[in-house]
């Protein structure tokens, strides 16, 4: 029986935090955070820079001790059993921290030694991981010759090398091209099929929607929202209609009276309208707008993370 199946059957959470707090002097970076991540789940931790995401992960991985509260990883207390937790955890931080002058193989070999991968399995594991991230043909090349996407993929291979049960990915596709991003997403989704638990921190809603089953949005160390990507979008209005008008006076108020219209924002001649049931609401919007003004442009799209965050918290998503 695999570890992942055992965890599912016994209902031991992959991650559990209860009233977790971390203070640095007068700053409370994490403020009574309570969260549970299920085994085999791809879970997204979202929020602006400075929201407390990295501090949470530092506490989960044993790099920082909680000021108060408790946390467990795969049933192990992060304060009492930090060594056990680290062996269960594979991490791809924002900075890949690879040895640039060494080859891809040498980088993975060093990691295998560090995590005690058995010698008889080491060569096979390194080969398998390089094949997984499509870098086997570059195994002897210095990492400094790699593109940003290749380095990201090698960092992912390194994180998976010791077969961790929990993988933490900090902005997994930051700075990579579209093709590499899609490849990395495919790798991450395949981890779920293997029964792995994945914790992702990201500021990109598209990435979170593609990968995550549930999302937690935090700000100032506090939980703002916890839901599926689809339900979070619906909390804003499901879809967004952008309108560019010749004369927008009074239209924001009029649009708010339409059934199925949620959030309405106006900046100059531009209106942003959150709507449910696009196909039925958009014709009503066009009809109302053309009666009162001249419509210069209209576009329908999904809400951005910034818009959802603003809607949920009343403050802008800080860079």
User: In angstroms, rounded to a whole number, what is the distance separating the alpha carbons of residues 218 and 33?
Assistant: 9
Q: Does residue 311 form part of some domain?
A: no
For the four alpha carbons of 53, 56, 61 and 64, in that order, the dihedral sign comes to positive
CA within 13 Å, CB half, 191 = 32
Identify the domain boundary among 177, 202, 232.
232
- Which bin fits 65, alpha (ψ -120 to 50), beta or left (φ > 0)? beta
Residues 82, 181: one domain?
Answer: yes
Distance CA 315, CA 313 (A): 5
Which residues constitute the domain of residue 81? 3-232
- Both 202 and 267 in one domain: the answer is no
In a domain, 155, yes or no: yes
Asked if 220 contacts 51 with a C-beta cutoff of 8 angstroms, the reply is yes
Q: Which helix (H) or strand (E) holds 210?
A: helix 205-211
- Round to whole Å and give the CA distance between 52 and 234: 25
* Same domain flag for 170 and 66: yes
One domain, residues 276 and 129 = no
On whether both 163 and 249 belong to a single domain, the answer is: no
Residue 125 lies in a domain: yes
For residues 192 and 264, membership in a common domain is answered with: no
Distances (CA, A) of 166 to 74, 158, 213, 283: 8, 14, 15, 47
d(CA 152, CA 158): 10
**Domain CATH for 247:** 3.30.70.920
Q: How far apart are CA 9 and CA 15, in angstroms?
A: 15
Give domain status of residue 310, yes or no.
Answer: no
- Examine the fold and report which residue of 195, 213, 232 is the final residue of a domain before the chain moves on: 232
Based on the domain organization, do 200 and 273 belong to the same domain? no
Low-confidence ranges of the chain (pLDDT < 70): 1-10, 236-237, 305, 313-319
Bridge partner residues of 36 (DSSP) = 16
Q: First CA to last CA across the chain, in angstroms?
A: 45
Of 232, 260, 282, which one is at a domain's C-terminal end? Answer: 232
Cβ(90)–Cβ(159) under 8 Å? Answer: yes
What is the pLDDT at residue 173?
A: 80
43 and 143 co-located in one domain: yes
Per-residue pLDDT at 4: 45
Number of domains in the chain: 2
CATH code, 114: 3.40.50.300
pTM assigned to the model:
0.79
Whether 89 maps to a domain, the answer reads yes
Q: How far apart are alpha carbons 130 and 137 in whole angstroms?
A: 8
């Amino acid at each position: 029986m695999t570890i992942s199946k055992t965890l599912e059957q016994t209902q031991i959470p992959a991650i559990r935090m209860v009233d977790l707090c971390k203070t640095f002097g007068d700053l409370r970076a994490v403020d009574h955070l309570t969260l549970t991540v299920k085994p085999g789940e791809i879970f997204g931790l979202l929020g602006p820079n400075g929201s407390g995401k990295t501090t949470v992960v530092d506490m989960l991985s044993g790099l920082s001790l909680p000021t108060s509260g408790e946390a467990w990883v795969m049933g192990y207390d992060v304060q009492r059993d930090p060594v056990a937790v680290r062996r269960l955890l594979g991490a791809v931080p924002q900075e890949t921290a690879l040895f640039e002058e060494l080859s891809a193989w040498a980088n993975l070999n060093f990691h295998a030694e560090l995590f005690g991968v058995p010698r008889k399995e080491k060569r096979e594991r390194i080969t398998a991981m390089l094949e997984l991230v499509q870098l086997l043909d570059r195994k002897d090349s210095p990492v400094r010759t790699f593109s940003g996407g290749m380095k990201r993929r090698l960092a992912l291979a390194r994180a998976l090398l010791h077969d961790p049960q929990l993988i933490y990915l900090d902005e997994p596709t930051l700075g990579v091209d579209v093709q590499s991003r899609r490849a990395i997403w495919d790798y991450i989704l395949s981890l779920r099929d293997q029964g792995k638990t994945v914790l992702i921190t990201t500021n990109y809603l598209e990435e979170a929607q593609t990968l995550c089953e549930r999302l937690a949005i935090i700000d100032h160390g506090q939980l703002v929202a916890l839901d599926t990507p689809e339900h979070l979008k619906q909390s804003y209005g499901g879809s967004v209609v952008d309108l560019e008008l010749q004369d927008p006076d009074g239209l924001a108020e009029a649009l708010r009276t339409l059934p199925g219209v949620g959030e309405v924002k106006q900046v100059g001649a531009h209106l942003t309208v959150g709507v449910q049931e696009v196909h039925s609401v958009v014709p009503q919007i066009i009809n109302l707008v053309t009666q009162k003004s001249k419509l210069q442009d209209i576009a329908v799209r999904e809400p951005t993370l910034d818009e959802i965050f603003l809607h949920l918290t009343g403050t802008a998503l800080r860079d």
